[in-house]
């Protein structure tokens, strides 16, 4: 029986990865914060281990020796500058701690969930060969992910590692990402649609690609996990169709969206809360995020579920968990 050690196990991708690993009969060791709610996690056959990726000793104590793969999913995805210090510690220092523990515990492979954001902003399609502009982007999340990737590359002679860069991931167990958009449509809180384009993948396909990266005999060090490129207006049209809502077709202009972003930033100065739209989110909403993912398709068998399927699965899970009005 193969053994896996997972960080970020209680998160959106983590739970989906555990579900797929369970189907394939892996022995699963799941790291979680001591104060974390692990109700969802315990629905699966896992060995839950309390610990913190910022505390090296706790990682080493939780991680068994000689596991086949360490899946490092834990990360801070905030795009609010007030969280930069915390984010750097989690995404850079935390990754280094988990990587060092994997080396010390003689893990077979280190699988790191990065993000397409590690490449920065680009007008054209991004691939493994794309030069990162994270340093020039002005976005701490971009730079923290890119820096963590560089640390992994440096130590790839000590442990076989694979860096995975997913884009927009959709599906069950999501509470905070595109699930918020589904809830907003359900609650009739959408005044219009952003003008940009993104790349979307079913979380099931992303989880399967993680396992394939762990099992591939001779993988590359990095794979872009793309999916289906779709204009945001079409994404909203799909969500509205699933929910039985009318589609207005009203696209919000870049200038109006930027003005709204600035108003939200001013509001955050007074209430101390993270704004709904930050500069990074604005750039994503009005920009074009495309990927060349042929390498992942060839090596990892990356599948591309239809857009309606991934959002339907996400919606059904939210409804099942009574979260649509939460």
pLDDT over 70 percentage in the chain: 100
Supply the mean pLDDT for the chain: 96
The answer to whether 285 and 194 are in contact (CB under 8 A) is yes
CATH number at residue 127: 3.40.50.720
pLDDT-based confidence at residue 279 (cuts at 50, 70, 90): confident
Within a domain: residue 277?
no
pLDDT digits (tens, 9 = 90+) for 3-12: 999 999 999 9
- Confirm whether 258 is domain-assigned: no
> Which pair of structure tokens corresponds to residue 233?
């207006």
Domain-embedded: residue 156: yes
Determine, yes or no, domain membership for 253: no
201 vs 225: CA distance, rounded Å? 8
Strands 197-202, 168-170: parallel, antiparallel or unpaired by DSSP? Answer: parallel
In a domain, 249, yes or no: no
| Structure confidence at residue 308 (pLDDT) | 98
Domain region containing 86: 3-175+198-230+289-306
**Structure confidence by residue, pLDDT tens digits, 95-147:** 999 999 999 999 999 999 999 999 999 989 999 999 999 999 989 999 999 99
Is 97 among the domain residues?
A: yes
Decide: residue 287, CB within 10 A, 0-12 exposed, 13-18 middle, 19+ buried.
middle
Number of domains in the chain: 1
Q: Is residue 326 part of a domain?
A: no
CA distance 210 to 219: 11
Domain membership flag for residue 273: no
């Amino acid at each position: 029986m193969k053994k896996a050690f997972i960080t970020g196990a209680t998160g959106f991708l983590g739970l989906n990865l555990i579900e797929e690993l369970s189907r394939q009969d892996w022995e699963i060791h799941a790291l979680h914060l001591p104060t974390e709610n692990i109700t969802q996690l315990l629905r699966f056959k896992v060995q839950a281990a309390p610990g913190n990726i910022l505390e090296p000793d706790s990682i080493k104590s939780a991680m068994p020796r000689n596991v086949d793969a360490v899946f490092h999913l834990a990360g801070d995805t905030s795009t609010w500058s007030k969280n930069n210090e915390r984010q750097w510690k989690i995404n850079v220092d935390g990754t280094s701690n988990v990587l060092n523990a994997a080396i010390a515990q003689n893990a077979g492979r280190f699988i790191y969930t990065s993000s397409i954001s590690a490449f920065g902003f680009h007008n054209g399609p991004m691939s493994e060969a794309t030069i990162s502009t994270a340093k020039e982007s002005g976005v701490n999340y971009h730079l923290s992910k890119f820096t963590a990737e560089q640390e992994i590359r440096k130590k790839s002679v000590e442990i076989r590692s694979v860096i995975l860069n997913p884009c927009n991931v959709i599906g069950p167990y999501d509470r905070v990402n595109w699930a918020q958009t589904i809830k907003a449509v359900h609650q009739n809180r959408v005044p219009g649609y952003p003008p940009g384009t993104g790349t979307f993948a079913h979380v099931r396909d992303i989880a399967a690609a993680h396992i394939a990266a762990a099992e591939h005999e001779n993988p590359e060090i990095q794979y872009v996990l793309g999916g289906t490129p779709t204009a945001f207006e079409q994404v909203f049209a799909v969500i509205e169709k699933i929910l039985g809502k009318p589609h207005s077709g009203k696209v919000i202009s870049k200038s109006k969206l930027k003005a709204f972003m600035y108003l939200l930033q001013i509001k955050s100065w007074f209430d101390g809360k993270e704004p709904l739209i930050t500069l990074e989110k604005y750039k994503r909403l009005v920009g074009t995020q495309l990927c060349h993912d042929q390498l992942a398709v060839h090596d990892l068998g990356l599948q591309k579920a239809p857009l309606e399927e991934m959002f339907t699965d996400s919606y059904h899970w939210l409804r099942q968990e009574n979260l649509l009005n939460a």
